[in-house]
C-alpha cells in the first residue's frame, strides 16, 4: 500500500474514491478521476494520509474500518497523533513486519518521531576484506519512485512516495507463507504496522530494525546461488510489508531468472511471513545513518538520516538549513494539490511543508494553524525572512483563522500548494490574496 488515506468517517468516501480504498491503492487512477469539483468536495471527507510502513495506533474497529491515530503527525488535542479512519484491509499487524520495523518505545510506539532507547541493530555484508555495516533504513528522496520485483527497470511492482522509510536488508531467505512457525496477518498489506490491545492498540513502528539478520540464497532458475547483497549496480534492497501473500496473492518477484522466490522474506525467526524484499533505485533514496568499517566497499559514504524528537523538535546535531529545506521543496514544483494530501503524489499546503521538514528530521504539526501556534519554532519578523521559513496567511486581513501556509523562497517569493485548481508553484509573496492576508512566520530550521 503506497499511501493510505485517513478519512474523517467511514461513510465519507464517494464512488469516485474507490481507487483510494483498494489494496493496493490506485493513487494515479484516483487523482486522474478527480475533477476540480470532486477535489473541492474532499474538504471535510479526508483528514490526512500515511505512507507505506508508517506506524498507526489502533483506537477502534467498526465494520471493516479502523479508527487510528498517526503518531508521526502531531495534532493539538490529540496526544496519540492525528486521528481518522482507514479501511482495515489497508493495514497490517503482522508480527514479522512488527519485528523488522522496530521495537516499542515511549508510549508504546516507535517511529521516526520518537528516539529508540538503543541504536538500531545492523548487519554486516561484504566479500573478503571489504566489509560494510549495512544501515537500517532508506528514505525515498525522489517525489515518487518505484519498488521493483528484481533489480531491473522493467520489473516494476509499486510506485511509492517521497519520505517513505523502509528497512534495508542484506540477503534473502526463502520461506513459505503460512508455513510452520508463521502466523498469518490479522490484516492485509498496509501503510504501517498496527497491533491492538483490548480495543486500543499501539503501532509497532516503521523505523529501523530492532534486531534482525538476513541469510539465504538467491533464486536462479530454482537453483541456489551466491548470497544476494544489499546494493547491486545502482539498486538497493528493502523490506516491504505485504501480508496479502497469505491470502493467495503472488508476492513480488515470483519466478526464476534471478527473482525473489515465492515467500522470500527476511529471516525473522518463527514469526509471520508478511515481509517482502523489493528493489529500488539507489539514486532515488537516502540511506539513513550509514556507518562504515575499515575496508568498506569502494564508493560507500556516510549519510545521516533524521531522528526527530517531537512536535517542533529537531534531531540532535541537525544541520538542516533553510536552504536545504527550500531545495527539497522545489522538487515538488508541479505536484497536484489534494485536500489532505501528504505524499509525493499530491499535497495540500500544510502536508507539503510537513513532508519537507520531516524529511530533514524536523518534526512539526500536520496542519497550518498548529504549525504557527503550537509547533514551537522561532517567530520571524517579515523583514528578516530567510529561505526555508514558513509563512502563514489568515482570514480578516491576517488577523483571523490561519488557513494557508507556504515556504519563503527568498527575494520576496514563496513556494506553496495553493488550491484544488492548481499545483505546487513558486510566486511572489504579495500575490493577491496572500499579500493582504499575511499572518506571520516561523523558523524551524537551523538557520
Q: What DSSP state is assigned to residue 235?
A: E
The CATH number given to 307-447 is 3.90.1720.10
Q: Is 349 a catalytic residue?
A: yes
Q: Is 404 a catalytic residue?
A: yes
Residue in the structure block whose three cell numbers are 499530491: 346
Taking only the tens of pLDDT, the chain with its 447 residues reads 699 999 999 999 999 999 999 888 899 999 999 999 999 999 999 999 999 988 899 999 999 999 999 999 988 888 899 999 999 988 887 766 766 665 432 222 222 222 222 233 222 222 223 333 434 789 999 999 999 999 999 999 999 999 999 988 763 333 333 322 232 222 323 543 333 333 333 332 222 222 222 222 232 222 233 334 477 889 999 988 864 433 333 334 433 222 333 333 333 222 234 678 899 999 999 988 644 333 323 233 334 344 333 444 544 445 799 999 999 999 999 999 999 999 999 999 999 999 999 999 999 999 999 999 998 899 999 999 999 999 999 999 999 999 999 999 999 999 999 999 999 999 999 999 999 999 999 999 988
- The pLDDT score that the predictor gives to residue 167 is 87
E strands present in 154-251:
156-161, 165-167, 219-220, 223-224, 231-232, 235-241
Whether 246 is catalytic is no
Q: In which order are the strands placed within the sheet that holds 65-70? A: 46-51, 3-7, 82-87, 65-70, 57-62
What Å distances lie between residue 218 and 2, 224, 225, CA to CA? 26, 6, 5
How buried is residue 233: exposed, middle or buried, by Cβ count under 10 Å (0-12/13-18/19+)?
A: exposed
Q: CB-based contacts of 399: which residues, under 8 Å, 6+ apart?
A: 439
The contacts found for 121-128 with CB under 8 angstroms, 24 or more apart, are 121/208, 121/209, 121/210, 121/211, 121/212, 122/291, 123/170, 123/212, 123/213, 123/214, 124/293, 125/170, 125/171, 125/227, 125/229, 125/230, 126/295, 126/297, 127/229
Q: Identify the pLDDT of residue 99.
A: 67
**Cα dihedral: 151, 157, 159, 162 (round 10):** -40
* 355: enclosing H helix or E strand: helix 349-359
pLDDT of residue 232: 82
> Is-contact 240 147, C-beta < 8 A?
yes
Q: Under 8 Å CB-to-CB from 108, ≥6 apart: which residues?
A: 57, 202, 203
Q: Which of 148, 177, 349, 360 is catalytic?
A: 349
The pTM of this model reads: 0.76
Q: What is the pLDDT of residue 300?
A: 32
pLDDT on residue 191: 42
Domain boundaries, the chain: 114-186+205-292, 307-447
* Catalytic residue from among 148, 149, 357, 404: 404
CB 349 within 8 A of CB 356: no
Q: Specify the pairing of strand 124-127 against strand 130-133.
A: antiparallel
Contact 197, 153 (CB under 8 A): no
Q: Which one-letter DSSP state was computed for residue 63?
A: T
The C-alpha cell that represents 76 in the structure block: 493539538
CA dihedral 56, 277, 148, 289 (to 10 degrees): 70
pLDDT of residue 170: 61
Neighbours of 328 (CB within 10 A): 20
CB proximity list for 35: less than 8 A, separation 6 or greater: none
Q: What is the pLDDT of residue 122?
A: 26
Cell of 314: 529537531
The Cα–Cα gap between 61 and 44 comes to 21
Q: Which of 148, 149, 360, 416 is catalytic?
A: 416
Amino acid at each position: 500500500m503506497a499511501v493510505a488515506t485517513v478519512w474523517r468517517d467511514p461513510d465519507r468516501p464517494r464512488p469516485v474514491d474507490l481507487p483510494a480504498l483498494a489494496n493496493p491503492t490506485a493513487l494515479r487512477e484516483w487523482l486522474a478521476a478527480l475533477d476540480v469539483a470532486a477535489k473541492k468536495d474532499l474538504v471535510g471527507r479526508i483528514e490526512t494520509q500515511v505512507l507505506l510502513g508508517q506506524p498507526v495506533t489502533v483506537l477502534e474497529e467498526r465494520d471493516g474500518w479502523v479508527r487510528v491515530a498517526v503518531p508521526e503527525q502531531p495534532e493539538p488535542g490529540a496526544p496519540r497523533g492525528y486521528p481518522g479512519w482507514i479501511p482495515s484491509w489497508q493495514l497490517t499487524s503482522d508480527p514479522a513486519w512488527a519485528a523488522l520495523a522496530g521495537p516499542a518505545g515511549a508510549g508504546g510506539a516507535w517511529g521516526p518521531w520518537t528516539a529508540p532507547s538503543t541504536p538500531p541493530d545492523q548487519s554486516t555484508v561484504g566479500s573478503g576484506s571489504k566489509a560494510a555495516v549495512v544501515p537500517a533504513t532508506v528514505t525515498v528522496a525522489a517525489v515518487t519512485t518505484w519498488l521493483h520485483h528484481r533489480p531491473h527497470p522493467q520489473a516494476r511492482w509499486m510506485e511509492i512516495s517521497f519520505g517513505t522509510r523502509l528497512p534495508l536488508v542484506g540477503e534473502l531467505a526463502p520461506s513459505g507463507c503460512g508455513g510452520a512457525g508463521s502466523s498469518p496477518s490479522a490484516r492485509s498489506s498496509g501503510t504501517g504496522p498496527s497491533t491492538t490491545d483490548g480495543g486500543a492498540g499501539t503501532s509497532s513502528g516503521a523505523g529501523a530494525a530492532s534486531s534482525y539478520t538476513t541469510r539465504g540464497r538467491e533464486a536462479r532458475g530454482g537453483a541456489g546461488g551466491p548470497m544476494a547483497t544489499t546494493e547491486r549496480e545502482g539498486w538497493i534492497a528493502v523490506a516491504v510489508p505485504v501480508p496479502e501473500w497469505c491470502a493467495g496473492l503472488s508476492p513480488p518477484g515470483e519466478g526464476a531468472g534471478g527473482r525473489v522466490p515465492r515467500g522470500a522474506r527476511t529471516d525473522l525467526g518463527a514469526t509471520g511471513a508478511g515481509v517482502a524484499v523489493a528493489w529500488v533505485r539507489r539514486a532515488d533514496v537516502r540511506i539513513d545513518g550509514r556507518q562504515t568499517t575499515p575496508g568498506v566497499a569502494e564508493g560507500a559514504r556516510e549519510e545521516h538520516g533524521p531522528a526527530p524528537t517531537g512536535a517542533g523538535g529537531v534531531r540532535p546535531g541537525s544541520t538542516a538549513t533553510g536552504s536545504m529545506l527550500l531545495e527539497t521543496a522545489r522538487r515538488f514544483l508541479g505536484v497536484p494539490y489534494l485536500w489532505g494530501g501528504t505524499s509525493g503524489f499530491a499535497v495540500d499546503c500544510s502536508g507539503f511543508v510537513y513532508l519537507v521538514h520531516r524529511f530533514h528530521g524536523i518534526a512539526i504539526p500536520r496542519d497550518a494553524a498548529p504549525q504557527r501556534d503550537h509547533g514551537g519554532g522561532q517567530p520571524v519578523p517579515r523583514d528578516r525572512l530567510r529561505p526555508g521559513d514558513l509563512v502563514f496567511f489568515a482570514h480578516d486581513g491576517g488577523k483571523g483563522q490561519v488557513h494557508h501556509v507556504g515556504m519563503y523562497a527568498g527575494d520576496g517569493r514563496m513556494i506553496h500548494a495553493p488550491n484544488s485548481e492548481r499545483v505546487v508553484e513558486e510566486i511572489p509573496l504579495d500575490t493577491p490574496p496572500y499579500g493582504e492576508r499575511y499572518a506571520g512566520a516561523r523558523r524551524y530550521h537551523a538557520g
